[in-house]
Structure 1
Amino acid sequence: MAASVRQRLLYIARADGRPFNEVLQYFAMERFLYRLGESPHGRKFILKGALMLVAWKTPLSRATKDIDLLGRTRNNIADIASAIRSACSQAVAPDGLLFDGKSVNAERIAEDADYHGVRVRFRGALGTARVTMQIDVGFGDPIVPGPVEVNYPTLLDLPAPRLLGYSRESAIAEKFQTMVKLGILNSRLRDFFDIWLLSRQFEFDGQILTDAIRKTFAQRETEIPSNPVAFSKEFSEDQGKISQWRAFVRKNLLHASPKELREVVLDLSLFLGPVVSALVSGKSLQKRWISTGPWIDIG
């Protein structure tokens, strides 16, 4: 079966103009999520990050090699490794993939003093094609208004992964908090793209979004600034940032995204500016964002 699946993935890669290894990696992540969802530990994890852009069926998505999860279990390396090992060996209908539970290796990650999680690596194979899997598990972040049920889209005609996923509001909140924390040093332009994309595709309730941002910033002990550096002229006209944005768009084949950094920064300031103003002033945002904008009054 592995040979048949590989041929179908090759066809998808050629049709989409994507490298085969990128398609294979995505397929492996999708099928691991299926195993995780079917395992006894499935409800202990909530999908987040770039793979949720696919779950939300956005027309654009960027390539990623990792699975990001929020853990609803003890922040314990041994427990996380055991859960991932269990998912690797979960009995499922054949899809050509094998995951090596014996190769599971988990370690503590501490990207900064406020965030501690667990990184898990292990190996998989589709016939002779090898994949390296990486899962980052975080803990403690609030999800507003709450996790959502996800039936994850599949590349091939195979059973869909069923698991819990992040809310769009909390996804935006966490990315915005990272922007604020890193300030002018921020090189994570994928967060700018992700928020821009969500603001172009979905409607948002002002009160829910402000609540999500307030709780995320409180959890991560970050002050909400009245004038975020990420929306400043200093940031959008920085030549290094401009080059990074152009390279990001080109690498990920994001032809429909803003070509210039100043465009995406302007769009984000129009989207999040009123939210920031409401949070700083302590007022509620009685408005609704329609996809592509603007905010409109409700009630």
Structure 2
Amino acid sequence: MVNVQGLLQKLKEKSRKEGISYQFMLQLVCQEEFLRRLANSRYRENLILKGGLFIFAYTEFSSRPTMDIDFLMKNLSNDQTEMLKVINDIVNMETDYRFIELRVRSIMNITEQKDYHGIRIKMVGVIANTKTPFDIDIGIGDVIVPDAESRKISVQISGFESPNILTYSLESTVSEKWDAIISRMETTSRMKDYYDIYYLAGHYDFDGRILKDALLNTLSNRKTFFDETTIVKVSDMYNDDDMQRRWKSFSRSSLEIDLEFKVVVDMVVQFIGKPMNAIIKEEDFSEDWYSKDRTYK
């Protein structure tokens, strides 16, 4: 069993070895512990991991790092008082790692423009003399195609228990990011949506029929407008000067790599274009996406 000082030493060693900041390692361990307590709680079926941390964990921590935890909530109230009780119940669950202390700092409503507002909980993880803030964002009302998946989340330190929780599907993850792209178009500041679709399309194969169903369900559920010009507009995004500036800033700060925005946009359009055209034309779509070839067959 690793004690608190042993944990901090292992995190420092891993930070030096892998070139990842010590603060980010602390954040991942605190988030991992929240997921572990969720997995052991009666709310395991109610909070479904999604977003950046889901992608980061799914890809074995090789994709874009993220700061927050995102969940889809099922069959619980979005009242702040009720949600605070839920989070405190989770935080107070017993695990073998109680030297990782989790505290709630504040709670607030978010996405109030939607039919049902979400909740943001500001947390802090305390390990010995370290304090690590992170947010938990909880949304409601979205759909998952084909369904939520039970998944073991990899851990940072060998020997620690892997949390077994419910997560999104990759298809609905892509669909929600596509929805964010086309609902904001050139006004978006969310360059991460382009990158995440680009990354997933470049590393994973997809069943085209399931992806088409996920796209249709997400766009219909969110009442997002689209037509035959939508793909064309997205394909032209790399010509927008403001979008180019935002992309350069994002790639420098979040990716630390030199990746042309045009390359990313072209991949997104190549990946999403065929199933979207099938949706628009109300046609069946049965081709599969092959990441190695970056095409449908």
Query: Which residue of the partner structure matches residue 83 of structure 1?
Result: 86
Q: Does 104-113 or 44-53 show the bigger shift? A: 104-113
Percent identical: 28
State the shift of 1:183 in Å: 1.0
State the shift of 1:225 in Å: 2.7
Local SS of the residue matching 2:49: strand
1:125 aligns with 2:129: no
Q: Which amino acid aligns with 2:268?
A: L
State the shift of 1:24 in Å: 0.9
State the shift of 1:85 in Å: 0.5
4+ residue stretches of structure 1 with deviation over 3 A? 111-115
Local SS of the residue matching 2:78: coil
Contact 1:148/1:167 (8 A) holds in 2:
yes
Contact 2:216/2:279 (8 A) holds in 1:
yes
Local SS of the residue matching 1:80: helix
Query: Which residue of the partner structure matches residue 271 of structure 2?
Result: 271
The RMSD of aligned alpha carbons is 1.8
Cα deviations across residues 233-285 of structure 1 (Å, max 9, x unaligned)? 2x202233223222322223454xx7100010011111111111111111111
Distance in 2 of aligned mates of 1:259 and 1:279? 30
- TM-score w.r.t. the length of structure 1 is 0.92
Q: Which amino acid aligns with 2:80?
A: I
Query: Which residue of the partner structure matches residue 262 of structure 1?
Result: 262
Query: Which residue of the partner structure matches residue 251 of structure 2?
Result: 249
Contact 1:81/1:105 (8 A) holds in 2:
no
Local SS of the residue matching 1:283: coil
Residues 233-248 of structure 1: matches in 2 within 5 Å?
Answer: 233=236, 235-248=237-250
Q: Does 286-295 or 151-160 show the bigger shift? A: 286-295
Local SS of the residue matching 2:154: coil
Q: Tell me the number of residue pairs that the alignment of Structure 1 and Structure 2 aligns.
A: 291
Distance in 1 of aligned mates of 2:187 and 2:20? 31
Contact 2:54/2:167 (8 A) holds in 1:
yes
Contact 1:58/1:201 (8 A) holds in 2:
no
Contact 1:196/1:267 (8 A) holds in 2:
yes
Distance in 2 of aligned mates of 1:270 and 1:246? 22
State the shift of 1:122 in Å: 2.5
Q: Which amino acid aligns with 2:285?
A: L
Distance in 2 of aligned mates of 1:198 and 1:149? 19
Cα deviations across residues 190-245 of structure 1 (Å, max 9, x unaligned)? 01111111111111111111111111111111122323266232x20223322322
Contact 1:124/1:131 (8 A) holds in 2:
yes
Residues 88-237 of structure 1: matches in 2 within 5 Å?
Answer: 88-94=91-97, 96-100=99-103, 103-110=104-111, 112-114=113-115, 116-157=117-158, 158-228=160-230, 231-233=234-236, 235-237=237-239
